[in-house]
Amino acid sequence: MPQSNLWFTELQNENLSIGLRIEKTLHSEVTPYQTLDVYETKQYGRLLVLDGCVMTTDKDEFVYHEMLSHVPMHTHPNPKNVLVVGGGDGGIIREVIKHPSVERAVLAEIDGAVVEASKKYFPQIAAGLSDPRVDVQIVDGIKYVEDHPDTFDVILIDSTDPIGPAVGLFSKKFYESVFRALKSDGVMAAQTESPFVNQELIQNVMRDVRGTFPISQLYLAHVPTYPTGMWSFTMGSKVHRPQDVQTCRVQNTRYYNAQVHHASLALPQFVKELVES
């Protein structure tokens, strides 16, 4: 029986692409901020695409969502107030509220259409958004951070790629603003692309975070649907060190555990040299 020959292709950069066989289109929309598509893939289940870039899939979303959240959340000894900038699909929020200490988690997403599409097409990712501790704000995250000094224990920056609406989320000015929005022992983390293709970006972010926070740390995870599959996150912390984490405080994870926490901090030699240079 012949296969459907319908493929979604992401040109990850001008020389590299990934292709996913598609069973059907579920949704296509031009929001005020970006294009938004939802596809049913054969390999990874449902796929969320913003401006032509893979955002998340049913089958591998757990890696990114667990690792952007649990590494900094565990680094803080007692996170009560958490802010997620971006992350409208709800995956980061879902992980954040697994921490029993969390009293309030704010989602500051600029594009309400992402939240709606996630609720409809990715109910298991969006599940946490209806938790009573969660406050979904459809606002400009940059402005929200500026307006809330000394408020949060942890801030997680779940942005799209550093083009279009997300450019401002990769600037020193923004990290300084995040620093002010954090309490005196706060921790932040941001997704910062692939060390195999985005060396310059990673170096710039590390320089900016290092210039802002007393403690900084790049860490890594395997995200199959992102370019090269090796994904980096950058953490900034005022007091607490990620190396000091002893135990895993959350259950029902599929990627994160205490060993993986520490393994993610061990950088391959070329990445180590990249961030130390």
Can 158 be counted among the known catalytic residues?
yes
- Give Cα separations from 60 to 3, 14, 116, 243 (angstroms): 23, 24, 21, 26
Least CB distance to its own copies at residue 26 (A) = 9
For residue 89 the two structure tokens come to 């699909």
Residue 161 is labelled as binding a ligand:
yes
Nearer to its own copies, 161 or 208 (CB): 161
- Cβ neighbours, 10 Å, residue 136: 18
Q: Which of 203, 230, 239, 249 binds its own copies (CB under 8 A)?
A: 230
Q: Judged by CB under 8 A, does residue 5 bind its own copies?
A: yes
Nearer to its own copies, 3 or 184 (CB): 3
Contacts to its own copies from residues 175-214, by CB under 8 A: 194, 196-197
Q: Which of 13, 78, 130, 243 binds its own copies (CB under 8 A)?
A: 13
Q: Which stretch binds its own copies (CB under 8 A): 56-64, 110-118, 120-128, 180-188?
A: 56-64
Least CB distance to its own copies at residue 164 (A) = 9
For residue 62 the two structure tokens come to 């757990």
Q: Which stretch binds its own copies (CB under 8 A): 112-120, 127-135, 140-148, 224-232?
A: 224-232
- Cβ neighbours, 10 Å, residue 95: 26
Name, in order, each residue with C-beta under 8 angstroms of 63's C-beta and a sequence gap of 6 or more.
Answer: 221, 222, 223, 224, 254, 255
Give the angle 268-270-272 at the CA atoms, nearest 5°: 65
Nearest to 104 by CA among 75, 124, 69, 134: 134
Q: Using an 8 Å Cβ cutoff, are 156 and 91 in contact?
A: no
Q: Which stretch binds its own copies (CB under 8 A): 19-27, 133-141, 201-209, 238-246?
A: 19-27
Phi, psi of 35 (to 5 degrees): -85, 150
Least CB distance to its own copies at residue 103 (A) = 26
Q: Which stretch binds its own copies (CB under 8 A): 87-95, 105-113, 200-208, 248-256?
A: 248-256
Least CB distance to its own copies at residue 224 (A) = 4
Phi, psi of 148 (to 5 degrees): -130, 65
Q: How far apart are CA 112 and CA 101, in angstroms?
A: 28
Q: Using an 8 Å Cβ cutoff, are 219 and 251 in contact?
A: no
Catalytic residue among 150, 158, 185, 208: 158
Least CB distance to its own copies at residue 35 (A) = 6
- The amino acid present at 17, given as its one-letter code, is S
Interface residues with its own copies (CB under 8 A) are 1-11, 13-25, 28, 30, 35, 37, 39, 41-43, 51-52, 59-60, 62-63, 194, 196-197, 220, 222-224, 228-230, 253-257, 259-260, 262-270, 272
Q: Which residues are catalytic?
A: 158
